[in-house]
Amino acid sequence: MQYYDTGFWQIVFVAVLIVFLLFNIIRARRGKSLFIRRIAGLSAIDEAIGRSTEMGRPVLMVPGLSGLGPVGIQAVNIFAYIARTAAKFGTPIRICFADAALYSVAQEIIRDVYQSEGFADRYDPTAVRFISDRQFAFAAGVAGMILREKIAAAFLLGDWFAESLILAESANSVGAIQVAGSTVTTQTPFLIAACDYVLIGDEFYAASAYLSREPVLVGSLVGQDWSKLLIAAIIVVLMVQASIEKALVPQTTQETQEGPGLIWTSKPIPARLKKRSDLLENRLFNPRPPAALSPREKRKLNAWEKDSDQ
Amino acid sequence: MALTLDDPNYHFLKVTAGALATFGMYSVLYKETKIYRFFEHMFLGLAAGLSLTLLWTQTLYDLWWGPLVGRTADKATEYGQNGAWAWVLVLPLAALAYTIFSKKHNWMSRIPIGLLIGIGAGQAIQNWFNQYGPQIENSIKPAIPTVWSRFTVPDRNGLPQAALDNVNNNVYGSQAINNLIFLVTLLCVLSYFIFCTEFKSKLTKGMSTAGRLMLMVGFGAIFGTTVMTRFALLIDRMYFVWIEWLLESLPRMLHR
Amino acid sequence: MADSTPEARPSLGAKLQALNRNALYLSLFAVVSGSLILTHLTSLQVPAQPQPCTKDTYTLLRNIPAGDTIIIDTGATNSTRGENGGEMEAVFRIAMRERLRFVLYTWQEPQCIEIAKGVIAKINLERRTSNPPEPEYREWDDYVILGFFPDGGTMLQTVASNIRDAWAAKKEKDPAGRERSVFESPVLKNIHRVEDIRAYVNIAMSNLMPTIVARVGRKLPVISMITGVMFPEQLNYYKSGQLKGLINGLVGTVELETLMEKGIDAKGEVGGHAPGPPVAAAFPGEKNYARGMDYYFAFCCAMSLLIVAIVIGNVGMMLERRRKP
Amino acid sequence: MRELAQLAPPTTVWTAHNGSTLLWVEIVAALILGILLAMGLSRLPIRLRKPIVAVVTFAGGLYFVLQYIWPQAQDYSKDEIPRGTVEGVSFWLQGTLPTVTNFAQVLGALLLGLGISSLLRIHISQLVKKHKDWLFSLTLIVSMLAMLVFGYWDWLSKLGPGAEQAVAANPHIFPNFARDFLFDGLFINLDAVMYSMIAFFIFSAAYRSFRLRSIEATILLGTALLVMLTLMGGVLVGWDRVVDAVGGGGGGHAGFLENFRLGAIKDWVQDNLQSPSIRAMEFGLAIGGLAMSLRLWLGIEKGVSN
């Protein structure tokens, strides 16, 4: 990371976000009880499981194409909660993966869930499956399973791409309740069209906190709210600032570089309207390289200048 | 063997296989039949085989085997490369992951997995600002007009460069209003994603409701644009079956 | 959700709201197949309204002087041929008719090159059989193929700083069959810096454009030809001027083909006849309408069907509401 | 130039010349050492297990966090000597980055076997138990083996070591055809079919759910329709004719009415309503992802590191 000019600023920004998160996690651990608003999609989970228990048909859980990252593991955490409930009722479950590493993590977690609930005998190791790491082979495989096993409830939570609708509609065609949520914004509309309940945006991340009420998670959820407010605040403040600067403060100097070391010198010029690149907000986000530049820095600099001209 | 990959007979064979596969898969739209099941399993098999092949040819051979054994320069223009024996240590490390199948030692699988999780998390933190910083900056738009003489943006086409720059650099009344709308929308939607406070005041309640509606606008638009791609692909499939197979490839076969 | 659960003696409204799934699928299948075959037999054309980004793309490509070199970076595979395929054909046609030389490579999937070769062969066939027959496009003299770059990002970084380093190792057979450096070929022999290349055309099914723009976007105009899914996202890059051209999937292809047929006159009108040199001339009397237009009628029919279906559903709902308020 | 090629770079403790016996000895030794280490791990007392996993995870994350927060030396190059510790660390970070990312990729790729083995376990058992679908399991296994064998063979003959000569000698041997048939003839087509099938599902989903049921549904439907109409040339042309007729004089001279061209309306909606709302949603997701990563990195996430 480069610290020159305003470079430090983004580090500070990220640091503040992290502090918000940790502070609230600690607060929650200290036993401060915190509120979470109702999330429709999640209240439906028990209903869905109940239904499939009555029908004696399996509950399907799919994290889309999520890999071994934040999204995938979040999905698995939610699935663990669902599996716990399913284990109590002895409802059969199916979890399909497109990523081998995530699959292995999940298999262990789900096994633990069944053991901790004291239903180790009910755990079927083939319930957690790796289907294929090729997008549409995966879709074909899961769709086939949905139709063959006539699943009664489908939880489609994670990184969904084009394949989302194939599974959602297949599940709908066998009359399953679907609870879906995608971290891929372009897929959410299709899930909304095809599914009964949809987790929009980071309701997906709120889910595990909402379900488990685990202090750590609830705390971090509060931290996330603070962070979002911070972003909103920054945008508003800088927008006001930029508006005023642009409307009222004319640009009277031009910064150019001279000499072998390419030293920045600001020269007076006839007053003109500020370009975007003259505005403070732009400079905050695009730190300006320092004097005495190495060749690589010079290249970056030229690029930067060209950029600020358009 | 003089036969080449673009030999018409072979080509016809290939296209026919493709056409059969198409109908076989489409049969699932009617109901899940044995035909679909056959093609589905073939697909899964081929995919697995392909992944295993690519595992070596596109990942391990370049990223692992190459560095491990190095190479002597084959092109006059470049140096050779020495082998780095330490790369072999990846094998036992990865092997730990496979202890997951053993009841006794499965905890060891968490070492490589944990490492990967850590790396993933670290990268996420590392890239966070690079990914979203520009988006934040991009949402900051001046909302006070710099020109009061006219409200709308003048017609851009046919303007000389200087005039064009001037137009682009100014903020017209209409733009200012749009930018305000942009900001308001952004804030409303953000407020919808606040989970840990109950909105009591009319304003905040209204904002989050409006936010949800704005989201629907966004989703509707996305739906509209995506439909094109999906339909285009269906049409292409049909073109493949009806035109390329039935009306072109088949007759060419028969006339030989 | 209204799902097909027929009540006892369903009313018309209920029926309209719960059309059988298979009937819907069948109708779509029939409409698409029918309209496609119709288009194929009677080469009919649907009017299209070229958007500014398509006009810019065509104007840029059309005004590159003959003999200059452009980069064509293809990511078109068969799974998105419906959109990328048409875009690729259009680009090749324009390039070949203007005698532009091009460098062809991919950093998306190795088989993209094979597919591109197939398209080039197909267009060459057209050129042979057209009257008057046009000269074929030949590898080495008119274009070079650099093949697959596993790590395109790094490659582009090097290209930006020193194009000759980046492709130094790349060799190709000249007509005499001798292996020679691609920089000895007519295509690249005058290229010393990336700025010497006139345009970078990226045909993609995935969102690689930001990387390309970041690496070389400030050194040469970048044109992005993508699938409709990514269009809204990339439109911002076009508006901010980082992209000099942008083709919006199937519709964009049709617009491009329309421009090839009609051209843009001096006043910026599509197919107009304003006096003075045209902004971008047409290719009169050539095969301009191709894969894009082949699909477009079917596309419009499918869209109309979709809208009709939605309307039917809503009418059904209205009737139902009126029946039992 | 040729001499230059013969000239192999100097070796270090970590490297040895390609093909040299030393290299192979080192490799084998390292492998044995690694296996022994792994075995040693299995003897580890239970109370140490969690900490080890946590430490490994933390270390993995720390490297990349450092990449971010550590002051970056302005101009790193292999043959420059760092001035002071700070720059030294920075140089080390920049120098090792490619290796570490490759390492992560390789390690991740090697886990594919876990998935494939699960797939095979299920289908082989079906085969053995003569489960009613055993024939399909057989299909799966056979096609997998075929793809594997011919795919690799084909690669050897084309790109593998010393392939140029092989191809030159015999352009299209049987495996090339087999692989081409399996991949280009079947796999690619199956892929495309599955992809194209989405159109049908969009169709039925839209029919089912795009009802003027609630305000939300209405808005969704309205914007979707608007955008879809702008994709249909005929409609667009017709609409704009009307605009021109009202505004007088065609071709972008209808003055203020320009804003009522279908395309213009759509662009306005996309610029001022769609992009901010989607972006706000992205921010939420971004923060959520950051929080999740943080919890994973510090090992305070419940479920995985418990």
Helix axes B8-30, C21-41, angle to 10 degrees: 150
> Percent of chain A beyond pLDDT 70?
89
More confident residue, C108 or B219: B219
Please tell me the predicted confidence (pLDDT) of residue B225: 86
- Write out chain D residues lying below 8 Å of A23, CB-based: none
Q: Flag whether residue D163 sits within 8 Å of chain B, measured between CB atoms.
A: no
- Give yes or no: residues A187 and A47 share one domain: yes
Residue D287, both tokens: 């923060």
Q: Where is mean pLDDT largest: A116-130, C202-216, C234-248?
A: A116-130
Q: What is the mean pLDDT of residues B33-48?
A: 96
Q: Residue A168: inside a domain, yes or no?
A: yes
Please tell me the predicted confidence (pLDDT) of residue D10: 78
Report DSSP letters for D241-303, one per residue.
HHHHHHHSSSSS--GGGGGGSHHHHHHHHIIIIIHHHHHHHHHHHHHHHHHHHHHHHHT--TT
Helix (H) or strand (E) holding C145: strand C143-148
Please tell me the predicted confidence (pLDDT) of residue C2: 45
Region of residue A201 (left: phi > 0; alpha: psi -120 to 50; beta: else):
left
CB proximity under 8 Å: D 213-242 to B:
215-216, 219-228, 230-231
User: Is a pLDDT exceeding 80 seen at residue D4?
Assistant: no
CB-based burial label for D161 (10 Å; 0-12, 13-18, 19+): exposed
What is the C-alpha to C-alpha distance for residues D276 and D281, in angstroms, rounded to an integer? Answer: 9
- Give yes or no: residues A177 and A47 share one domain: yes
Helix (H) or strand (E) holding C105: strand C101-106
Nearest 10 degrees: Cα torsion A208, A209, A214, A219: 140
Domain boundary among A197, A212, A227: A212
Please tell me the predicted confidence (pLDDT) of residue D1: 38
Report DSSP letters for C235-279, one per residue.
HHHHHTTS-SEEEEHHHHHHHHHHHHHH-B-TTS-BT---SSS-S
Helix (H) or strand (E) holding B12: helix B8-30
Alpha-carbon distance B34 to nearest alpha carbon in chain A (angstroms): 11
* pTM > 0.80: yes
Q: Flag whether residue A306 sits within 8 Å of chain C, measured between CB atoms.
A: yes
Please tell me the predicted confidence (pLDDT) of residue D2: 42
Q: Shortest CA distance to A196 belongs to which of A222, A177, A216?
A: A177
User: Is a pLDDT exceeding 90 seen at residue B129?
Assistant: no
Q: Where is mean pLDDT largest: A7-11, C21-25, D238-242?
A: C21-25
What is the C-alpha to C-alpha distance for residues D31 and D25, in angstroms, rounded to an integer? Answer: 10
Instruction: Say what the ipTM of the complex is.
Output: 0.91
Q: Residue A240: inside a domain, yes or no?
A: no
Question: pLDDT tens, C85-99?
Answer: 999 999 999 999 999
Q: Shortest CA distance to A296 belongs to which of C157, C164, D91, C192?
A: C157
Q: Inter-chain contact D304–A73, Cβ cutoff 8 Å?
A: yes
Q: Flag whether residue B50 sits within 8 Å of chain A, measured between CB atoms.
A: yes
Q: Shortest CA distance to B168 belongs to which of A310, D257, C165, A86?
A: A310
Q: Shortest CA distance to D252 belongs to which of C86, A107, C264?
A: C264
Q: Shortest CA distance to C114 belongs to which of B238, B236, B4?
A: B4
For chain A, give the mean pLDDT: 87
Range of weakest confidence among A100-109, C175-184, D44-53: C175-184
Q: What is the mean pLDDT of residues D110-129?
A: 93
Task: Indicate which of A160, A277, A310 best probes the interface with C, i.e. most C CBs within 10 Å of its own CB.
Answer: A310
Q: Residue A228: inside a domain, yes or no?
A: no
Residue C200, both tokens: 């970078």
Q: Inter-chain contact A299–C3, Cβ cutoff 8 Å?
A: no
Q: What is the mean pLDDT of residues C232-258?
A: 87
Question: pLDDT tens, A253-293?
Answer: 887 766 555 566 778 888 888 888 888 888 888 877 665 55
Cβ count near C87 (within 10 Å)? 30
Asked whether B238 and C36 are in contact (CB, 8 A), the reply is yes
Residue C208, both tokens: 């690689």
For chain D, give the mean pLDDT: 85
What is the C-alpha to C-alpha distance for residues A133 and B72, in angstroms, rounded to an integer? Answer: 35
Q: Phi/psi of residue C7, each to 5°?
A: -80, 180
Please tell me the predicted confidence (pLDDT) of residue D305: 40
Asked whether A28 and A222 are in contact (CB, 8 A), the reply is yes
- Give yes or no: residues A93 and A181 share one domain: yes
Q: Phi/psi of residue D212, each to 5°?
A: -80, 55
Kindly report the three-state secondary structure assignment for every residue of chain A: CCCCCCHHHHHHHHHHHHHHHHHHHHHHHCCCCCCCCCCHHHHHHHHHHHHHHHHCCCEEEEEECCCCCHHHHHHHHHHHHHHHHHHHHCCCEEEEECCHHHHHHHHHHHHHHHHHCCCHHHCCHHHEEECCCCHHHHHHHHHHHHHHHCCCEEEEEEECCCCHHHHHHHHHHCCCEEEEEECCHHHHHHHHHHCCEEECCCHHHHHHHHHHCCHHHHHHHHHHHHHHHHHHHHHHHHHHHHHHHHHHCCEEEEEEEECCCCEEEEEEEEEECCCHHHCHHHHHHCCCCCCCCCHHHHHHHHHHHHHHHC
What is the C-alpha to C-alpha distance for residues A8 and A21, in angstroms, rounded to an integer? Answer: 20
- Give yes or no: residues A41 and A166 share one domain: yes
| Cβ partners under 8 Å of residue A161, min gap 6 | A64, A65, A135, A184, A187
Question: pLDDT tens, C30-70?
Answer: 999 999 999 999 988 888 889 889 999 999 999 999 999 99
- Give yes or no: residues A179 and A258 share one domain: no
Confidence of residue A214 (pLDDT cuts 50, 70, 90): confident
- Write out chain C residues lying below 8 Å of B77, CB-based: 168-169
Q: Flag whether residue D64 sits within 8 Å of chain A, measured between CB atoms.
A: no
Q: Say how many residues make up chain D.
A: 306
Please tell me the predicted confidence (pLDDT) of residue C210: 83
Helix (H) or strand (E) holding C202: strand C200-203
| Chains A–D, number of C-beta pairs less than 8 Å apart | 185
Alpha-carbon distance C229 to nearest alpha carbon in chain B (angstroms): 5
Please tell me the predicted confidence (pLDDT) of residue B2: 54
Helix axes C52-62, C86-97, angle to 10 degrees: 30
Q: Residue A8: inside a domain, yes or no?
A: no
Alpha-carbon distance D263 to nearest alpha carbon in chain A (angstroms): 21
Q: Flag whether residue B11 sits within 8 Å of chain D, measured between CB atoms.
A: no
Please tell me the predicted confidence (pLDDT) of residue A309: 45
Q: Shortest CA distance to D52 belongs to which of A215, B96, A67, A105?
A: B96
Please tell me the predicted confidence (pLDDT) of residue A32: 77
- Write out chain D residues lying below 8 Å of B226, CB-based: 202
Taken in order A45, A46, A51, A57, is the CA torsion positive or negative? Answer: positive
Q: Residue A208: inside a domain, yes or no?
A: yes
Beta bridge partners of C280: C264
- Tokens 């996309």 -> residue: D270
- Give yes or no: residues A48 and A152 share one domain: yes
SS3 state at C69: strand
D13: amino acid identity, one letter: V
Alpha-carbon distance A187 to nearest alpha carbon in chain C (angstroms): 10
Alpha-carbon distance C34 to nearest alpha carbon in chain B (angstroms): 10
Please tell me the predicted confidence (pLDDT) of residue D248: 63
Q: Shortest CA distance to C177 belongs to which of C137, C139, C128?
A: C139
| Cβ partners under 8 Å of residue D216, min gap 6 | B212, B213, B216
Q: Phi/psi of residue C71, each to 5°?
A: -100, 130
More confident residue, A63 or B164: A63
Neighbouring C-alpha atoms within 13 Å toward the C-beta of B183: 20
Q: Residue A196: inside a domain, yes or no?
A: yes
D94: amino acid identity, one letter: Q
Q: Residue A63: inside a domain, yes or no?
A: yes
- Write out chain C residues lying below 8 Å of B58, CB-based: 150
SS3 state at D15: strand
- Give yes or no: residues A166 and A307 share one domain: no
Question: pLDDT tens, C271-299?
Answer: 888 888 898 999 998 899 999 999 999 99
Question: pLDDT tens, B187-223?
Answer: 999 999 999 888 889 999 999 999 999 999 999 999 9
Q: Does domain C46-290 have CATH number 3.80.10?
A: no
Give me Rg for the CA atoms of chain D.
Answer: 31
- Give yes or no: residues A278 and A197 share one domain: no
Asked whether A292 and A262 are in contact (CB, 8 A), the reply is yes
What is the C-alpha to C-alpha distance for residues D26 and D14, in angstroms, rounded to an integer? Answer: 9
Q: What CATH number is given to the structural domain containing A180?
A: 3.40.50
What is the C-alpha to C-alpha distance for residues A126 and B47, in angstroms, rounded to an integer? Answer: 20
More confident residue, C3 or C121: C121
Helix (H) or strand (E) holding C225: strand C222-226
Q: Say how many residues make up chain B.
A: 256
| Cβ partners under 8 Å of residue A192, min gap 6 | A198, A200, B219, D209, D220
Alpha-carbon distance A133 to nearest alpha carbon in chain C (angstroms): 16
User: Is a pLDDT exceeding 70 seen at residue C120?
Assistant: yes
Confidence of residue D5 (pLDDT cuts 50, 70, 90): very low
Please tell me the predicted confidence (pLDDT) of residue B165: 76
User: Is a pLDDT exceeding 90 seen at residue D27?
Assistant: yes
Helix (H) or strand (E) holding C104: strand C101-106
Q: Shortest CA distance to C250 belongs to which of D231, A100, D279, B14?
A: D231
Q: Inter-chain contact D111–A134, Cβ cutoff 8 Å?
A: no
Q: Flag whether residue B46 sits within 8 Å of chain A, measured between CB atoms.
A: yes
Question: pLDDT tens, D199-243?
Answer: 999 999 999 999 998 999 999 999 999 999 988 878 888 888 888
Q: Inter-chain contact A108–B171, Cβ cutoff 8 Å?
A: no
SS3 content of chain C, % helix, strand, coil (to 5): 50, 15, 35
On the question of a cis peptide bond just before residue C132, with omega within 30 degrees of 0, the verdict is yes
Question: In which domain, by residue range, is A164 found?
Answer: 37-212
Of D192, D206, D231, the CB nearest to C310: D206
- Give yes or no: residues A112 and A176 share one domain: yes
What is the C-alpha to C-alpha distance for residues C215 and C201, in angstroms, rounded to an integer? Answer: 14
Cα–Cα distances in angstroms (integers) from residue D5 to residues B80, C226, D8, in the given order: 7, 42, 7
Return the exposure string of B174-206: e unless at least 16 CB atoms fall within 10 Å of the residue's CB, then b: bbbebbbbbbbbbbbbbbbbbbbeebeeeeeee
Q: Flag whether residue B22 sits within 8 Å of chain D, measured between CB atoms.
A: yes
Return the exposure string of C273-291: e unless at least 16 CB atoms fall within 10 Å of the residue's CB, then b: eeeeebbbebbeeeebbbb
What is the C-alpha to C-alpha distance for residues C38 and B46, in angstroms, rounded to an integer? Answer: 36
More confident residue, B22 or B10: B22
Please tell me the predicted confidence (pLDDT) of residue D124: 95
Q: Please state the domain count of chain A.
A: 2
> Percent of chain C beyond pLDDT 70?
97
Asked whether A200 and D281 are in contact (CB, 8 A), the reply is yes
**Closest B-chain CA to A68:** B117
What is the C-alpha to C-alpha distance for residues D92 and D78, in angstroms, rounded to an integer? Answer: 10
Q: Flag whether residue D282 sits within 8 Å of chain C, measured between CB atoms.
A: no
Confidence of residue B231 (pLDDT cuts 50, 70, 90): very high
Please tell me the predicted confidence (pLDDT) of residue C160: 84
Q: Residue A202: inside a domain, yes or no?
A: yes
